[in-house]
Structure 1
Amino acid sequence: MVLIAVVGGTGLAGRAVVHHTVSAGHQVRSLSRHLPAMEQQIGGAEYVQADLRAGTGVTTAFAGVEVLIDTLNASSGASLRALPVTSGAVLNAAAQAEVRRCVLLTIVNAGECAMGYYQAQAARARSYEKSKLTTTVVAATQFHNLVAGIFAGGAKIGVIPAFMGVSVQPISTADVAAVLVAEALRGGRESEYVLAGGPAVHSMQELALMWKQATGSKALISPMPLPGSFDAFLRAGKN
């Protein structure tokens, strides 16, 4: 039975990976800076506290690990700026533990977007691609959760924002988790780059209507521009 370590296993994507790995009958160890409460833990998974940047708990966390999935994330501030460094520390720890494959979750075409969040994701991908370890970089399209969160946030003030000229190919976290685990278990010693996208491309207008119908929201769908470089990235279909 393969032991899979999930770095950032308590986050949105990480939790989905832990759940999928347990369901598939593999051993899984969730690594995070803080242990989740018992009621938030997934049955059958092992939870270990480790701080990759500080180097505390790392030896224990990586003991016996055969493959690794890096789902670390941060939205802003110092944590976001430190994200590429932390992923570098993950690779160093994996090398010391002789992990046979390391898999990274990132965003499709992240390097082509000027936003700091996307640039941090691109930097992480570069570190994996340049690593001497056997790696897979999984570049995913936007999660359903992100799109739904945009609509839900606007609906609180009565407006569902449908950004003009923007289309999305949303994917579920469960589907992304399945791709990540499959890549972790891939044989061979060649590094890989894999794209993971949802089953269909929809305009924001179409998705807003779907969301409104599904939730019963009374808010109005409002076409609106999205300012800045992120708008150019999306309107060019880079996402």
Structure 2
Amino acid sequence: MTTILVTGGTGVLGRPVTERLRAAGHEVRVLSRHAQPYAVDLVAGGSGLDTAVAGVDTIVHCMTSPRGGDEKATANLIAAARRAGVRHLVYISIVGVDRVPFPYYRSKLAVERLVEESGLGWTTLRATQFHDLLVMLFQVLAKPPVMLLPAGVSDQPVAVAEVADRLAELAVGAPAGRVDDMGGPEILTFPELAHAYLAATGRRRRLLNVPLFGKAYRGFRAGGHLTPERAVGKGTFAEHLVERFGSPKMR
């Protein structure tokens, strides 16, 4: 069995990836800012990073932050991986990072390029948004009596457990470059998704579709973040809501 390092290993995706790899018998190190014994701030780098990477065969890079720093963190990780002779770097990215000029997506695309040019064996998987991300978004949007939704935008959410399964599979295989994208089983409009969330949580809200502006919004409206030809996920958003909140509630 191999020694595998999972960055962001305490996060929404990193935790189930870690669980799957350990269940398969691999030695897994979890790297995050607060997880001992490999508590490392990837953006800052430092000697702790070299210690975490020493003797590692494969790195699964799940660490990310919409607040910035992904490129610096990845550059530090790659440098340490080169010094340690790591064989394989697996990166999780987002569908549409090359089609939607959203700032966070641009950062993810830049990280993809760092991985490709690292000199290491590499694999990159792009996935659509996780179910949990939509729930977090709707929790915020549902606070006022009117939910404001981006007009004309759909989404294709995917189960984080299924993405974790795929990443764990890729981590124990040979470097494969850019693999096929992974999307959820359904493409639904934001009103359809919002109605499902409201029913699951027993809330009543008026929905208002609001046109937005800018190149990123046009990219989302055009479906640049969707992958209908790769709708390989099985778990639906409705099933996720039932699992999280129980049967739909009526008010």
Q: Which bracket does the TM-score occupy, shorter chain normalised? A: 0.7 to 0.9
* Selected match of 1:199 from 185, 201, 204: 185
Q: Secondary structure in 2 aligned to 1:194? A: coil
Match of 2:235 in 1: none
- CA separation of 1:216/1:21 partners in 2, compared to 1, >3 Å: closer, same or farther? farther
Task: Please give the TM-score of this superposition, normalised by the length of structure 2.
Answer: 0.82
- CA separation of 1:22/1:219 partners in 2, compared to 1, >3 Å: closer, same or farther? farther
* Selected match of 2:72 from 70, 74, 85: 85
**Residue by residue, what CA displacement relative to the aligned partner does 1:168-192 show, whole Å, maximum 9, x if unpaired?**
11112211111111111113x5533
Q: Distance in 2 between matches of 1:19 and 1:159?
A: 40
| Structure 2: segments with no counterpart, 5+ residues | 226-251
The residue identity in structure 1 corresponding to 2:22 is V
Match of 1:40 in 2: none
Shift in Å, 1:102:
0.5
Is 2:49–2:77's contact at 8 Å kept on the other side of the alignment?
no
Is 2:56–2:86's contact at 8 Å kept on the other side of the alignment?
yes
How many equivalent residue pairs? Answer: 224
Is 1:50–1:56's contact at 8 Å kept on the other side of the alignment?
no
Task: Please give the TM-score of this superposition, normalised by the length of structure 1.
Answer: 0.85
* Selected match of 2:101 from 114, 130, 133: 114
Runs of 4+ that moved beyond 4 A: none
- Does residue 69 of the first structure (1) align with residue 60 of the second (2)? yes
Shift in Å, 1:68:
0.8
**Residue by residue, what CA displacement relative to the aligned partner does 1:86-122 show, whole Å, maximum 9, x if unpaired?**
1122112112222221111111121333222111111
Match of 2:153 in 1: 166
Quote the RMSD (CA, aligned, Å): 1.9
Is 2:151–2:211's contact at 8 Å kept on the other side of the alignment?
yes
Is 2:95–2:127's contact at 8 Å kept on the other side of the alignment?
yes
Q: Distance in 2 between matches of 1:159 and 1:18?
A: 40
**Residue by residue, what CA displacement relative to the aligned partner does 1:34-63 show, whole Å, maximum 9, x if unpaired?**
227xxxxxxxxxx51123333231222112
Shift in Å, 1:67:
0.9
- Does residue 34 of the first structure (1) align with residue 34 of the second (2)? yes
